Amino acid sequence: MIRVASLRVNYGRREALRGVDLHVARGELVGLCGPNGSGKTTLIKALAGLLSAASGTIEINGADIATLSHRERALRLSCVPQRTEVPAGFSVRELVLMGRFAHTGLLTGFLSDYGPEDHAAVEAALRDARADNLAERQAAELSGGEIQRVLLARALAQGREVLLLDEAVSALDMARRVEAYDLLATLNKNGGTILSALHDLNLAALYCPRLVFLKAGLIALDGPTTDIFTESNLKDIYETDIRVAAHPVTGAPQAHLVPGAVAAALG
């Protein structure tokens, strides 16, 4: 469960979030959308404890994250970051094993190995993120899409209760995106609370029963996908001509862009 109240976050003098209120109930799968610079990444980073709030509060499962240690917070929520530099010299399995850091005791630091339950969680995470075939590879040598699967596996190894994703599928091809979101849908069905920031509106509409649109640091729209995913709403938010039609199989609303020249010809 995530509860955000009047959250403001600044980068120096620039206001990135200007008073955001958001409640994601346990077991929800929510897509976080909005134009570039609208504050999606800022919100995810603030939730993950990487940015501190200028004002307002963030609660994860009822605990104010300002009062939690990094370890306690990491035990409650895991996060797949946007883009990442992977240092040389670590295998994929070692990288995913780092997701278990918060689960290790404070007194077991002295060169101690991760325990059997850590290794079991890592194997399950690698399998679920379809990264088990990469386990022995050097993480620094993977392609962008492979790295994103590995980072997803690391987040799963860390915890599956509350999962934040920041553009976690942007480097994946279409088939891999569907795979990744099928996995998220399964995690969600098994009780996971998921908030995923993404640019791909159609993927969001296809998988997320609820969407939140940010614009200029404020929540512009928040509601069931079928209610708010309309031509007029999307035009207002993205300031371009967008048409919405039903998905031929599922019937979910899908957005279609109109090329500038065609839009001009249409008047």
Partner 1 sequence: MTTGAGENRASGCANGRTGRGASLWIACICAATLASGLIACGLGSFPSSPAETLNALLQALGLNVGLNGGQPVDPALSVVVVDIRLARVALAWLTGASLAVAGCVFQGVLRNPLADAFTLGVSGGAAFGASVAILSGLAGSAAISGLGGSTGLLPLFALAGALLALAAVLALGRAGGGLGGAMRRETLVLAGIVVSTFLSALISLLKSLDEESVASIVFWIMGSFQGRGFEHVRLALPYMAVGLILVLWRARELDLLALGEGQARLLGLDAGRSRLWLLIGASLLSGAAVAVSGVIGFVGLVVPHLLRMVIGAGHRALLPASALLGGLLLLWSDVLARSILPGGAELPVGVVTALIGGPFFCLLLGRSGRMGLRAGGGGA
Chain residues binding partner 1 by CB under 8 A are: 48-50, 69-71, 73-75, 78-79, 81-91, 93-94, 97-99, 101-102, 104, 109-113, 116, 119-120, 123, 135-136, 140, 154, 158
Residue 207's nearest CA partner among 227, 234, 177, 230 is 177
Sign of CA dihedral 166, 170, 176, 177: positive
Sign, CA torsion 210/163/135/121? negative
Q: What per-residue string of b and e applies to 209-225 under the rule 16 or more CB within 10 Å gives b?
A: ebbbbbbebbbbbbeeb
User: Which amino acid, residue 5?
Assistant: A
What CA–CA distance (Å, rounded) separates 90 from 71? 22
Q: In the bound complex, what is the minimum distance in angstroms from residue 204's beta carbon to partner 1?
A: 22
Select 80 or 205, whichever has its Cβ closest to partner 1: 80
> Residue 24 CB, nearest distance to partner 1 (Å)?
19
Look at the block and give the residue holding tokens 């995470």: 125
Nearest CB to partner 1, comparing residues 80 and 211: 80
CB nearer partner 1, residue 1 or residue 90? 90
Residue 110 CB, nearest approach to partner 1 (Å): 5
Distance CA 230, CA 226 (A): 8
Instruction: Tell me whether residue 21 or residue 72 sits nearer to partner 1 (CB atom).
Output: 72
Least separation in angstroms between CB 124 and partner 1: 12
> What is the smallest separation between the CB atom of 263 and partner 1, expressed in angstroms?
35
